[in-house]
Amino acid sequence: MPKRHRYYFTLACLLLTTPPFALAAVSWETNWDSVHPYLFSVVLLFACAALLLSYASILKMRRYHQRLAKSEERLRLSLWGSGDELWDWRIETGELYRSSSWLTPVELKPETHDFPPNKQQIHPQDLGRVVTLLNEHLNGNNAFFEATYRLQTAKGMYIWVLDRGKIVAYTTDGSPSRMTGTLKNIHQFKEAEGRMLLFARCLENISDGVLVCDTQFTIIEVNPAFSGITGKTRANVINSRFELSMYPSRYMQDIQLQLAKHGRWSGEIQEQMDNGTLYQAELAFDVINDDEGNPQQYVGVLSDITERKIREAELKRLANNDTLTGLPNRAVFMTKLAQLVKPQTKHALLVFDLDNFKKINDSLGHELGDTLLCKLAQRLHTDARYQQKLYRLGGDEFAVLLNDTNDIHTISLMAKGLLEQINQPFIINQHELAITSSIGIVLYPDDGSDPQALLRNADTAMYHAKNNGANRYLFFNDSMNKQAVKRLQIENLIRYGLKEDYFTVFYQPKMDILTGNVVGMEALVRFITPKGGLVSPASFIPVAEETGQIVDIGAVVLRKACADVKKWLALGLFQGRVAVNLSAKQFMLPNLCQQIDDILEQCELPSYHLELEITEGTVMQSPTLAIDTMKKLRARGIHLAMDDFGTGYSSLAYLKQFPLNTLKIDKAFIDDMDNARGRNMVDTIVTIAHNLSLNVVAEGVETKDQLDMLRKLRCETIQGYYYSKPLSAKDFAAFLFAQKQPPRLSVIPG
Ligand code: C2E
Ligand code: CA
Ligand code: CA
């Protein structure tokens, strides 16, 4: 009840009740009968009036309380409706009143005198800030207390609240005694705000450019990345139209149509910054609709793909271009060839490689070989005749593709030009290199109907050019293909022969020129056909060399020769050495010595009964390595002979270093002895050999004249048809046996 009402109520009661009671007191001493009825009536009237007044006052109080209750209810309802909590804090006692609501989860203990009173619920990270703000208000620095912080609910989770309050009472000494306020749950708002902030930050920080524009492409907003990619500042683009400067205006209209139709558009663009720098980007537009589905804005995302495009171009260049020479590679060549191979067209293809490139690589190193290829590519590439026509197929193999021509004269000129260009010396690391090349040429459509056939036939022609002396060009013809087919047949035959043991060994004796005794023999391989015929090694050894089958053939020959010799030694027919030919591929085998050791051991043949014939070409492929291998063989007691001496490229300087026992003069020199120059030649070879303390074997001796001349030149050993053709093992045993018989004049030349 307000103070004023209470005062009126008390006064009325006093006024109305005092007279009757005064009268009653007086009349107490008085005789009741003497009390005047009038006075009594007055007393009664006063009493009634007092009662009436009291009753009215009570009614008034009730109404007051009813209004108060209503007002409280309204307040409660409004608080409930607003979701806010009312708090009332008695600062001195620490007592905290909180209107019952969502936020009164924790039982507060006023006696703890926490500051602020809900301290236990405030998030530790926010507490300091809340305390500062509260103190500022309590100290009079701020008219209100207002703080946003996280408050813990009964379930243990924190929610964001907005706490507002004000001091409402002070103690007599002027310090705050009471403070009230409201607490608002702003968690959802705060979360939404957080999400918006997050999105805003994302937009600020993503590397993709984002632009929002209206449906006429007038820019409403852009993010920093947009400016980074396009080079246009936000201030310059806001309210301006989004344009693609390097495209016709129709382009934007098309985008607009697509957006209207599909709600989305994306594509790759190339644009120019204001400073002229070009950039490439992926651009995607999406439509933002209102609730009714009407387009309101377009949001565009611009991804800078300049770097990626550069990388892609580089990868494409790497995939298409040979990394060493920079020329288009085999893949590009095949694609180009496939595109050209069409009816009613005529083209020519020249395929060439360098003669003896392997030798350059082996002797001067691969680095120099690479430099040579680069220089060659450069030289040809700068020649207008070969520009856009030259490809590197791999290794030292190149191709020139001539479009729309089948004119033999033009193509021949082109090939000649190529050979001349290649023949010009190259100076690399102070080495002057003179190289040559062999070119195979095919014509489309005559020489093949598809790229593979054309390339295969060009290779065949090139192979023939090489075999015909190299440093030349050859047009492909059908007979070349027949030879290629034959080569394939031979390869298959060798494979079959190795499997079925169709290889056998023939022996040709080596005779002492003075005594006529057999001092040794050469083991020569033969292929026995299923019908019993003999195939000469000349027809299969080159193929076997190429395919590597010679390694297996060589092992068969070595094993059979060692076994035969062991048998003849045991029979006492023979005491000398058997010479076995070693091909280059065999000689290069890393386990060659081991293989020979094994065979000698299996055949129980002492190593000094074995001689190995190696050609100059074989040792010159890698002279240092050859010397090393030869030393190892010599260390085992095996003899070494240099075969076909004079036909290869070995220098006298090397010859001195090779640990040889024997030099075999090639048949070509013996054939040439019918003239003085030829004889001098053989004389020189024999002298060199003797000066190097080497034995000399003359091979291919067919006549008595040749024999006589060789005897005069002090050549000590003879091999040739004059004495014997190569014989089968059985015939050779008979030959040896006959040799053991008393000498016959016919075999010991006079
Ligand atoms: P080569 O090592 O120079 O062998 C000598 C060749 O000359 C043999 O031919 C032999 O039959 C032939 N010959 C010997 N004396 C005369 C003669 O007076 N007149 C004529 N016209 N020819 C004579 P063959 O047996 O046909 O061997 C040819 C080539 O095959 C050999 O030349 C050798 O390079 C190779 N060869 C033979 N057998 C083997 C082998 O087992 N392994 C390897 N790697 N190569 C072998
Ligand atoms: Ca030989
Ligand atoms: Ca020979």
What kind of fold does domain 322-492 have according to CATH?
A: Alpha-Beta Plaits (3.30.70)
Please give the share of the chain, as a percent, with pLDDT higher than 70.
Answer: 91
pLDDT, residue 745, reads 40
Q: Which two structure tokens, joined as six digits, stand for 383?
A: 């020649």
Q: Is pLDDT at 382 greater than 50 in this prediction? A: yes
CA-proximal residue: ligand 1, atom 6 (nearest): 700
Same-fold call for 83-191 versus 231-310: yes
β-pair type (695-699, 717-719): parallel
Counting from 1 in the atom list of ligand 1, the atom nearest the Cα of 726 is: 11
pLDDT mean over 99-105: 56
pLDDT mean over 566-586: 94
What is the number of the ligand closest to the CA of 541? Answer: 1
For 707-735, letters b (16+ CB in 10 Å) and e give bebbeebebbbbbbebbbebbebeebbeb
Please give the share of the chain, as a percent, with pLDDT higher than 90.
Answer: 63
Q: Which residues lie across from 612 on neighbouring strands?
A: 580, 640
Q: Detail the DSSP E strand segments found in 174-272.
A: 176-185, 209-214, 219-222, 264-272
Q: Which two structure tokens, joined as six digits, stand for 349?
A: 């293809």
pLDDT, residue 554, reads 97
Which range (103-112, 160-169, 273-282) has the least confidence?
103-112
| Better pLDDT: 47 or 707 | 707
CATH number for 504-740: choose from 3.10.129.10, 3.20.20.450, 3.40.190.10, 3.40.50.300.
3.20.20.450
- Single-letter code of the amino acid located at 511: M
pLDDT, residue 749, reads 33
Summary mean pLDDT of the chain: 88
pLDDT, residue 743, reads 45
Residues with CB under 6 Å of ligand 1 are 508, 524-525, 536-538, 541, 550, 554, 557, 581, 583, 613, 643-644, 699-702, 719-721, 726
**In angstroms, what is the span from residue 700 Cα to ligand 1's centroid?**
9
In 3D, which of 666, 625, 630 has the Cα closest to residue 645? 666
**In angstroms, what is the span from residue 438 Cα to ligand 3's centroid?**
27
Confidence of residue 741 (pLDDT cuts 50, 70, 90): low
| Better pLDDT: 521 or 533 | 521
Confidence of residue 733 (pLDDT cuts 50, 70, 90): very high
**In angstroms, what is the span from residue 629 Cα to ligand 1's centroid?**
24
**In angstroms, what is the span from residue 471 Cα to ligand 2's centroid?**
28
Task: Name the CATH architecture for the domain at 83-191.
Answer: 2-Layer Sandwich (3.30)
Give the Cα separation of 573 and 570 in Å (integer). 8
Q: Domain ranges in the chain?
A: 3-78, 83-191, 231-310, 322-492, 504-740
pLDDT, residue 35, reads 56
What kind of fold does domain 231-310 have according to CATH?
A: Beta-Lactamase (3.30.450)
β-pair type (727-728, 426-428): unpaired
Give the Cα separation of 72 and 80 in Å (integer). 12
pLDDT, residue 14, reads 66
**In angstroms, what is the span from residue 736 Cα to ligand 2's centroid?**
20
Q: Is pLDDT at 83 greater than 90 in this prediction? A: no
Q: How far is CA 308 from CA 282, 304, 713, in A?
A: 11, 8, 78
pLDDT, residue 102, reads 56
pLDDT mean over 117-144: 92
pLDDT mean over 688-706: 95
Which range (99-103, 683-687, 716-720) has the least confidence?
99-103
Question: Please, are residues 274 and 229 in contact by the beta-carbon 8 Å criterion?
Answer: no
pLDDT (tens digit per residue) in 537-557: 998 998 999 889 999 999 999
pLDDT (tens digit per residue) in 608-655: 999 999 998 888 888 889 999 999 999 999 999 999 988 766 677 788
Residues 91, 93, 96: CA angle, nearest 5 degrees: 65
Q: Is pLDDT at 525 greater than 60 in this prediction? A: yes
pLDDT, residue 643, reads 94
Q: Which residues lie across from 645 on neighbouring strands?
A: 665
- Helix H or strand E segment including 20: helix 3-29
Counting from 1 in the atom list of ligand 1, the atom nearest the Cα of 537 is: 30
pLDDT (tens digit per residue) in 27-44: 555 555 655 667 777 778
pLDDT (tens digit per residue) in 290-324: 999 999 999 999 999 999 999 988 888 888 888 89
* Crossing angle (nearest 10°) for helices 37-82 and 3-29: 160
